[in-house]
Structures are given as structure tokens and as C-alpha cells.
Amino acid sequence: MKLWFLPIILTLGFADPVLSQDFNPRKIYQKTSSAVVLITAFDRGQKSASTGTGSIIRKDGFILTNAHVVFNDESNEPFDSIRIFLKPDRVTGNLKKDTSRKFKATLVHYSNPMDLAILKIQDTQFSNALPLLELSDLKETSIGDPVLAIGHPEQGGLWTLTTGTISSLIENFEDVRGKDVFQTETSINKGNSGGPLIDRHGHMVGVNSMIARQGKGGLTITDVNFSIKSTVAMEWMRSVGYSHSYAMPQSKSQTPSPEKQTHTEEAGIVPVPTQPQEPTEIKPKLIQELPKEPEILTEVRPYKEKDLFDQVEDEMEDMMEEMKGRIRSR
């Protein structure tokens, strides 16, 4: 009898090595979270505002995010002002302390149909000094692979970690040619938009973009989230002149075919500061709240979006007082 059970015991000992050994959310978070930023975008006067997440893709301060994070649907133009918050050494739950590393940013390029945007931190102190996330070429990525997301879900914590798997691959999402996405069960909420979907190697495999919340008949949909594939982002960045500057994974990225490049040319790429194009048929969708709480592996430290924008408003008031002082001194 012992001889019959020995092979079974050995088999159980080697079960699922990828999930048990290679995928370590804690180590991946420690390696990558410092390259994830909090983004606030707003118009002067605080009439409209948006929050989201981004990933540093160059050490001198270039950031990849969703276009809808920095684009005002009401005015059909990008927001006037953008602020980037770098991760503190330790997230405490104190909003003022956790958002003390605040910098102005500029919108460099964006595409509404592709829902991608590139930002640049204006501060010159970051000369090849920032941490960055490497983009994966997806050669080793497939359905069933474990992944994690880092972001700032509203009513949740800043730099929050959630885990899940890749559920499906979808081409030409929302009928946009070349916009290929992953469907994932990794919990994503409002505030996670633009943040990274990360594989077990610590490489970004997607840009978290939108979530499905309600089906026919008003039925609630859960665990259906979409992330723009990193290869789509890489191709788009190459098309706007960033082929030699953004981070690459250790393995070489596949060169896109001419057909794929044509898809990108049709994606409505808009350089900044040129005047934005007329509204496209496909508008970016703002992520709405999940009806259930996400599976959060980091300690929950809830923040309120209003408190975050109150801090930005205080900054604007200080700027106005400074300008008045300069005028009086003339």
C-alpha cells in the first residue's frame, strides 16, 4: 500500500509551482510600487476634476496613463492642470503626509480612442533618478496567468494592491482597430484607471482602463475588468516618437507589423499642445465604483477624493496670494 501512495505524495509536492513560487505579490509590490503614481487633473476653479493612477516609464519623469484620467468629458478638452504624487517611503494613511511628494505635470500626447496618454513631470530635479516600470513584450503571457494591480481606488487606500488572473484576450476592443485588451478578474475601481497590470516578473503587461458593472436587465457584473495590452501601449508610444526612450523588458520586444502600425495611425493620436480634435465617436469611459469591496492585500487606508482636491484647492489659493503680493510690490 505504501508503494501505491508514494507517487501521489510526490505529485502533490510539485503542484502548481508558478502560483506557489514564482508569483509573490509582496515581493512584486516592493519592487514596483515606487514607480506607480497618483494623478489628479482639474480645471481652474475646481469645476471639474479627475483622479487616477499612472506608471513611470522613464527615469526622467515620463508617465503612462489613461487618456480619460486627464481629459474633461464636459469641455471635450484636456484638464488645465495636472498634479503627480510620488509614493512616500511608507504609506501611513495620513493623506497630507502620503501626498507630500507633489509635482506639476504636462500632458505630452494622448489618444482618446486608444485611451492612452503620456505625461511629463515638470520638475528638473529628476534627471534619470526615478524608478520605472518595464513594459512586457507579452511573449510569456497567456490566459490563466496570475497578475496584480496597484492603484488608488476611491474609498480604498492609496497604492493599494489587488490580485487576480488574466481571463481572456480581446482584439479591437470597442471596435477600435489595434486596441487589444486583457480581460481580468483583478479588482479595479474608480481611481485605478491608468495604473499598471503587472505579471510575476514585475513587468507591466497592461494599462488598467475600464470595468463592466451592469448587464442587461440591470444585473450587476463583477470581476470583469479590462486592461490595454502593454504591446498596444508600446506601439502607440513608438508612433509618437518614444521608441528609444521608454523602458523595455529584458527580452526584446516584437517589432510591430506594418498592418499593426496602420491601426495605430487610425487611433486618433493627438500631440499636445496642438488643438484637440473634434469629439471622436468612441469616448473614454470613466470607471465607476464596484458594488463589492476589492480583494485588498495591502492594509486599507481609505481616502476621500474631496479631501485630495481640497489640498489642490489650497495650493491654488496660495498661488493667487503669491501673485497678488507680486503685483502689490511693483
Residue 194, sorted as left (phi over 0), alpha (psi -120 to 50) or beta, turns out to be left
Predicted local confidence at residue 125, as pLDDT: 79
Q: Considering the candidates 136, 193, 227, 253, report the single residue annotated as catalytic.
A: 193
Cis peptide before 291 (omega within 30 of 0): no
pLDDT at 286: 36
Q: Which residues of the chain have pLDDT under 70?
A: 1-21, 46, 127, 211-223, 243-330
Report the 3 state secondary structure along 210-241: EECCECHHHCECCCCEEEEEHHHHHHHHHHCC
pLDDT at 223: 65
Residue 227 catalytic?
Answer: no
Spot the catalytic one: 68, 152, 203, 263.
Answer: 68
Task: Supply the pLDDT for residue 154.
Answer: 83
- The pTM for the full model equals 0.73
So what's the pLDDT on residue 80? 92
Name the active-site residue from 33, 50, 111, 115.
Answer: 115
Is 239 known to be catalytic? no
- Is 193 tagged catalytic? yes
Q: What pLDDT, on a 0 to 100 scale, did the predictor assign at position 243? A: 54
Looking at residue 275, its pLDDT comes to 42
Length of the chain: 330
